[in-house]
Structure 1
């Protein structure tokens, strides 16, 4: 017989709490029985008595029975009974839970649920009775949500997605971190920095073991609190397209994986800890910034993020220093631009084919390094890049090869020959160079020495 219990509802605080309960009880929420809820409640009460968590609970449930040291034991017990056992209360007539639409059993305020106002500050409400109507199961789940969070810049940071499997996996990373700190006897939770880096680094780790049969979805990193003068809310979006890209990179050939790993590893920046922090290394976990992760998450805060993602290629995928030439990898760029930026596959294949033709026929095949040098050592405006292509076309024609007008238009994303400018020709130039450096590095690495000298000369 089916029985009522906690369940995923599509609301972040509820779903994060359900995921924590699943991790603790070791079973999916649909299999929870009444004795499981009682077991979880006893565990939570014990955990929240820890000194390391009492202060942290203040930024989740201000002035609540969990953390208010001024209330009596009786009132504290009454509060805990309400938030963990309200599913046994009688339904409130005519009211339904705002999260799951089951009959409401409790009217909650900011003591019980984050991001609400206080009971005494609500000036209007249905029927003149203040409070958010919730069922006891959703209210209970929300009490577990702090264990799904990390403390970052003084605020809780946690995950939500519309896919319970993904929410469960992402939440597990932070739940295990909290468990380790508690088990280690830490009396203070570390206050981390760089939420964007933390989120994307976590996503990377989770995707490494996330099954191919499990669904991906857009993810939201929530960085929120209503502790203090008023609600403080920010969300970071990691779209499904980015997660698919990160997952696909892991199954590509070694050259692609190596190129992407190099981007991540070289983007880490070590924070300079002050003397006070240095003395408390046992208590504080130094957090690091990753420039690549930060840039990616910032891109997705833009309304036109599919276009903005193309800037990532220039800033991170195009390696301009001689010692990193070998990490130029067109296949990685193609995968990123297809999956994340939504760039047309035919266009990318055309860019690659023309770059290959120029490189193999003129640069490698005819020792004409000028076609690489001039493109590498000079920033081009659109009309200058077009003159470069005209010269290339003329030289290829002398070799019995001709670039078709249709291919040029596709490459530059122009509708016809009368279009005067390509909006992203600089991306095309970058992709040309990435492919050229890749091919020359594999077949005529000696040519890169001349390129290096020319580059040094231009710089000096």
Structure 2
């Protein structure tokens, strides 16, 4: 692992880290443990009472600033960090955190319960949403499971959760927790975030209540924020060997505010999509092609009136479809200009990694499209392309393939355009579902193979429409 950049946090020098990756299945606890390890420069299990106390001093130095206070209302509402009735918020917060540290290092209570996060022993203390986001609202127990005032959590997990916001990512106006099955990703990104936060504290930015305490890249749309992270991780972290191409990333969009809280929205980017994104980001040409595609599908309706670029403010139909596991092959072509948006090699990459098509089927579709393209070129029958594009049912589409076969025979070809096995594997697979993907793939390939003759027609159509 790359050594940590050495920098000073309130006089406490960061060390080269020794990360244990001994985390839990709860993303808040995992994030908090990683944040503590980054601050202390050592494994959480090896942190002494003094190490953790210094980490608390750093935490409170940030939390007590105006920029952070504003954010903590949505994470720890009515907590000691923000409770207006407390005259000494810092003192009360420090006492709470040091008591947790004491129970972690030298337990004094009898632990006869089970922590609901890590499964380790816990005492009978109930923690509400003041200390644990989304855990419950104390006396309003009828709104939460088992009619309890909160949940049983061990001091270790409670302490860790207090540090989790340090490596949160702000998007859509709310804190977002980033999670992955590979905690090395969160650890590396957490180092970058904390280094940035330290710089912002030094500059005095946190003392401006109009600023955000959380790390932010000004994304208004959580989906785009998640893909921005995927593009970054897929290019930088894969190259550096921090993660593989088969990782998954989850973004938890959190609203724990007391008034009308929306709870949590979960955006999951699966490993097959991350694998595809990694391939795209690590090829300069693919990357350029991909961004060209994305630029066509930002929603202008959601564009906000500010100076931010559209890719930070508006939904993108491609991103939404990828998260919903629906096909985007329809987007790889422009029927108006009769051109393909992505090169066939990148289309193949998408089909294999995201749609799980096997190579044989992809080869058959490509072969079928190339044969049709040759037929169209030799017969000078460009109307066939339009007929295939406009096929609205599987019957219409199959009929266009049949007519292409007839044209092939009229050319005097001795070999069939495609044989029976290819036809059944490509055109009528299974129960006919997915035929639109086959049609769109064939059209993408036709546009690519017949670009020289279709482009002229497209230019003439555009000129004709402009004159009208």
Distance in 1 between the 2:223 and 2:45 partners? Answer: 32
Alignment of 1:181-260 (within 5 A): 181-186=200-205, 187=208, 188-189=211-212, 192-211=219-238, 213=241, 214-215=243-244, 216-228=246-258, 229=260, 232-251=263-282, 255-260=285-290
Q: 1:60 to 1:285 in 2, by over 3 A?
A: farther
C-alpha contact (below 8 Å) 1:96/1:104 kept by paired residues: yes
> What residue number does 2:104 align with?
87
Alignment of 1:93-112 (within 5 A): 93-104=111-122, 107-112=126-131
> What residue number does 2:346 align with?
332
Q: 1:127 to 1:114 in 2, by over 3 A?
A: closer
> What residue number does 1:288 align with?
313
Tell me which of 324, 327, 345 is aligned to 2:359.
345
Q: 1:430 to 1:456 in 2, by over 3 A?
A: farther
> What residue number does 2:17 align with?
none
Tell me which of 422, 425, 436 is aligned to 1:426.
436
Alignment partner of 2:77: what SS? coil
Distance in 2 between the 1:386 and 1:102 partners? Answer: 61
Q: Any stretches of 5+ residues in structure 1 without a counterpart?
A: none
Distance in 1 between the 2:281 and 2:261 partners? Answer: 43
State yes or no: 1:20 paired with 2:35.
yes
Q: Aligned-pair distance for 1:355?
A: 0.7
Q: Aligned-pair distance for 1:204?
A: 0.9
Q: Aligned-pair distance for 1:265?
A: 4.0
C-alpha contact (below 8 Å) 1:220/1:237 kept by paired residues: yes
Distance in 1 between the 2:365 and 2:140 partners? Answer: 61
Distance in 1 between the 2:383 and 2:313 partners? Answer: 42
1:81-106 CA-partner distances (Å, limit 9, x unpaired): 33454414424331232222333255
Q: How many residues align?
A: 430
Distance in 1 between the 2:148 and 2:69 partners? Answer: 30
**Stretch of structure 1 that moved more, 177-186 or 32-41:** 177-186
Alignment partner of 2:425: what SS? helix
Alignment TM-score, normalising by the size of structure 2: 0.79
Alignment of 1:367-382 (within 5 A): 367-376=380-389, 378-382=390-394
State yes or no: 1:448 paired with 2:441.
no
Q: Any stretches of 5+ residues in structure 2 without a counterpart?
A: 1-19
Alignment partner of 1:208: what SS? helix
Q: 1:33 to 1:349 in 2, by over 3 A?
A: farther
> What residue number does 1:263 align with?
293
